[in-house]
Amino acid sequence: MDSYTNVIELDNVVKDYGDFKLDNISFSVPKGSVCGFIGQNGAGKTTTIRLMLDVITADSGEIKLFGEDIKGNAPRLREDIGVVYDEMGFHEFMTGKDINIMMKHIYKNWDENVFFDYLKRFSLPSKKKCGDFSRGMRMKLQIAVALSHNAKLLVMDEPTAGLDPIVRNEILDIFREFVLEEDHSIFISSHITGDLEKIADEVVFIDGGKLFLQGNKDEILERHGILKCRKDEINSISKSLIVGVQEGAFGVDVLINDMKAAAKLYPELVIDRTSLEEIMLFYVASARR
């Protein structure tokens, strides 16, 4: 049994490009969980993933994977990580058989039997050039590779973007199977919050390089709600409860950060449950006012 508690830990991580800054990001992902990393395009999700994988170096802060600092340990730690990007990383002339030969020389734990079993399961021809694959097939190919070297952690950057709902659900089922095995964890970056509501245990939300929200997904959804009121009632709502306000033709929607407290204070007002997408949109709109 591995001794670490968190599979991923970031502590005050900074990466400054001048025109964009990942600003003191801190969060942790418990071992054995699925963590949804949400934010709009350009929020800093890909930069964070590249830092975690030691593709780029942070200006300051600490990053740990499997309880170990990535500095000096990244090549060894990457053996236990399966990575899936939104764009296929293989040359388009390569076939499944070519990729198998290449991966044998990259991963010590590469298992070609597992790989070809996944190709069959995903109906991916092993002799066809992957450049001729559809987007869904390309994504499944990357997932097959990621799952074929005994990885303990899957790190994925927008794996379901641009896929039709049927293929997306098929891929989400694969992720569910993976994380059912002991100590397997998933870190999945996406702006498709509906997918994350289906599979995520934890949520980390960033925008403009800043961390806005992190924690257990169900607790976040239970805590936040949409309070309905008239425009003349908004000033009576405690500012400490308000995340953001959206005015409509017939009243005001207020995202609140504590449904239980609001229900006690304002029993006459309607408070509806909300979604990750609504929460994200309200936080972003509030930050940009």
Give me the sign of the Cα torsion angle 50, 52, 55, 60. Answer: positive
| Mean of pLDDT values over 198-221 | 94
Q: What is the pLDDT of residues 9-43, one digit of tens each?
A: 999 999 999 999 999 999 999 999 999 999 888 88
* Residues 1-18 pLDDT 10s: 468 899 999 999 999 999
Task: Report the CATH number that the domain containing residue 115 is assigned in CATH.
Answer: 3.40.50.300
Looking at the structure, do residues 38 and 151 belong to the same domain, yes or no? Answer: yes
Could you tell me if residue 123 is inside a domain?
A: yes
Residue 253's pLDDT is 94
The answer to whether residue 288 is domain-embedded is no
Residue 278 lies in a domain: no
Report, as an integer, the average pLDDT of 60-83. Answer: 94
User: Looking at the 3D structure of the chain, how many domains does it have?
Assistant: 2
Query: Are 55 and 186 in the same domain?
Result: yes
| 259 lies in some domain | yes
Q: For 261, how many CA atoms within 13 A lie in the half-sphere containing its CB?
A: 11
pLDDT at 243 over 80: yes
Model confidence band, residue 192 (pLDDT cutoffs 50, 70, 90): confident
Q: Is the domain of 117 the same as that of 42?
A: yes
Domain of 32? 6-215
Contacts of 134 by beta carbon, 8 Å cutoff, 6+ apart: none
DSSP string spanning 130-146?
GGGS-HHHHHHHHHHHH
Q: Decide if 117 contacts 155 (C-beta within 8 A).
A: no
In terms of domains, do 18 and 87 share one? yes
Express each pLDDT in 81-120 by its tens digit. Answer: 999 887 777 899 999 999 999 999 999 999 999 999 999 9
What's the pLDDT score for residue 1?
46
Is 110 in contact with 148 (CB distance < 8 Å)? yes
Query: What pLDDT was estimated at residue 2?
Result: 66
* Segment 140-170, tens digit of pLDDT: 899 899 999 989 999 998 887 778 888 888 8
Give me the chain's average pLDDT, please.
91
**pTM score, two decimals?**
0.90
Q: What percent of the chain has pLDDT over 70?
A: 99
Domain co-membership, 197 together with 233: no
pLDDT at 135: 85
pLDDT for residue 250: 81
- Whether residue 195 sits in one domain with residue 53: yes
Is 90 exceeded by the pLDDT of residue 181? no
Reply yes or no on whether the pLDDT at 214 is more than 90.
yes
